[in-house]
Amino acid sequence: MFISEAYAQAAGASPGGADMLASFLPLILIFVVFWFLMIRPQQKRMKEHRALVASLKKNDKVVTNGGILGVVTKAVDGENDVEVEIAPNVRVRVVRSAVAEVTNRTLPAKGAKADAKAEAKTVETKNGANDA
């Protein structure tokens, strides 16, 4: 009268097996999507930035994270900083990792000559089409 009825579980059901995998599957899928959309592109950008910072040379035009434009006047391999001229006879030392981008490289990239020739041909054809 005071004891409630107890129902037994179905016989043969293993506690946790497939149910546990099914409950973790959405979390695993979310992590995979998060990896491909967020983590992997960020790692690629960081790798490119490290390569950019390591390849800084004299006479490279740079932009710092603070928005300061300047020209690298001294860059010694193995040092953590570079000297940047931000105005005539005004030089500051900047930590390499604070360089956001290089706006003008002193040496062209490997494929830049072919790209420049192709661009010149397209400009010539456009000018020729306008003249006719």
User: According to the model, what pLDDT value does residue 18 have?
Assistant: 74
In whole angstroms, give the CA distance from residue 46 to residue 95. 16
Residue 31 within any structural domain of the chain: no
Residue 40 within any structural domain of the chain: no
Mean pLDDT, residues 4-15: 60
Domain that holds residue 73: 55-125
In whole angstroms, give the CA distance from residue 110 to residue 108. 7
Q: What is the pTM of this model?
A: 0.58
User: According to the model, what pLDDT value does residue 114 have?
Assistant: 54
CB atoms within 10 A of CB 61: 15
Indicate the number of domains in the chain: 1
User: Which value, to the nearest 10 degrees, does the dihedral of the CA atoms of residues 108, 111, 114, 117 take?
Assistant: -40
Sign of CA dihedral 102, 82, 71, 86: positive
Task: Tell me the β-bridge partners of 81.
Answer: 95
Residue 97 within any structural domain of the chain: yes
CB atoms within 10 A of CB 98: 15
Q: Which residues contact 53 (CB under 8 A, 6 or more apart)?
A: 96, 97, 99
User: According to the model, what pLDDT value does residue 106 have?
Assistant: 57
Look at residue 56 and give its three-state secondary structure.
coil
Residue 4 within any structural domain of the chain: no
